[in-house]
Amino acid sequence: MNPAWEHAVTHGDVESARRLLQTGQDIDARDRHGQTALMLAAHQGHQTLLELLLENGADLNVTAKYHLSALMLAVVAGHTAIARLLARAGADRDIRGTGAPGFAGKTAYDLMVERGMDELRQDLQP
Which stretch of 37-46, 79-88, 100-109 has the lowest confidence by average pLDDT? 100-109
The reported pLDDT for the residue numbered 16 is 95
Domains of the chain: 3-124 (1.25.40.20)
Helix H, strand E, coil C: the string for the chain is CCHHHHHHHHCCCHHHHHHHHHCCCCCCCCCCCCCCHHHHHHHHCCHHHHHHHHHCCCCCCCCCHHHCCHHHHHHHCCCHHHHHHHHHCCCCCCCCECCCCCCECCCHHHHHHHCCCHHHHHHHCC
pLDDT in tens, 47-103: 999 999 999 999 999 999 899 999 999 999 999 999 999 999 999 999 999 988 889
